[in-house]
């Protein structure tokens, strides 16, 4: 929504700061290369169980089993943040996060 409200500004920004000769492009690249993904809020095993309570799919069961096998949600969060790091440039989506959770459960 911010992009829609300031469409002219973002078009100006994109035009002026995406050409290779602009030094700001180096700053943007540096910031993107060093961005970190972190999850705010406390996620517990009980919360995950509650979220997955009505989901009887094999994927949900595999994810819950993997989390329990790892002794909690911390390993899942660290792994997920690491796997999603490359997607910070292109954007995160529910489908991508779901795919990464499935891969985590299968590991």
The 3 state secondary structure assigned to 5-65 is: HCHHHHHHHHHHHCCCCCCHHHHHHHHHHCCCCCCCCCCCHHHHHHHCCCCCCHHHHHHHH
Q: Which residue range forms the structural domain that includes residue 71?
A: 45-106
What percentage of residues in the chain have a pLDDT greater than 70? 79
**Listed residue (71, 96, 77, 1) closest to 36, CA to CA:** 77
In a domain, 63, yes or no: yes
Give me the number of domains the chain comprises: 2
**Which two tokens mark 98?**
């779901």
Kindly state whether residues 49 and 99 are assigned to the same domain: yes
Kindly state whether residues 74 and 96 are assigned to the same domain: yes
Kindly state whether residues 91 and 52 are assigned to the same domain: yes
Kindly state whether residues 60 and 24 are assigned to the same domain: no
User: What's the mean per-residue pLDDT of the chain?
Assistant: 81
In a domain, 13, yes or no: yes
- pLDDT computed for residue 4 by the predictor: 29
Kindly state whether residues 12 and 56 are assigned to the same domain: no
**pLDDT tens sequence across 47-98:** 999 999 999 999 999 999 999 999 999 999 999 999 998 888 888 899 999 9
Kindly state whether residues 56 and 102 are assigned to the same domain: yes
- pLDDT computed for residue 69 by the predictor: 95
**Which two tokens mark 68?**
């329990």
Report whether pLDDT(5) > 60: no
Kindly state whether residues 99 and 60 are assigned to the same domain: yes
How many Å apart are CA 71 and CA 5, to the nearest integer?
A: 45
């Amino acid at each position: 929504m911010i992009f829609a409200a300031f469409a002219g500004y973002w078009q100006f920004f994109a035009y002026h700061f995406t050409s290779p000769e602009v030094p700001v492009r180096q700053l943007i690249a540096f910031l993107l290369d060093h961005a970190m993904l972190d999850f705010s809020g406390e996620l517990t095993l009980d919360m995950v169980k509650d979220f997955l309570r009505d989901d009887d799919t094999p994927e949900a069961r595999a994810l819950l089993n993997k989390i329990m096998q790892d002794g909690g949600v911390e390993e899942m969060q660290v792994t997920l943040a690491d796997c999603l790091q490359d997607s910070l440039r292109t954007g995160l989506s529910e489908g991508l996060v779901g795919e990464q959770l499935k891969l985590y459960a299968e590991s």
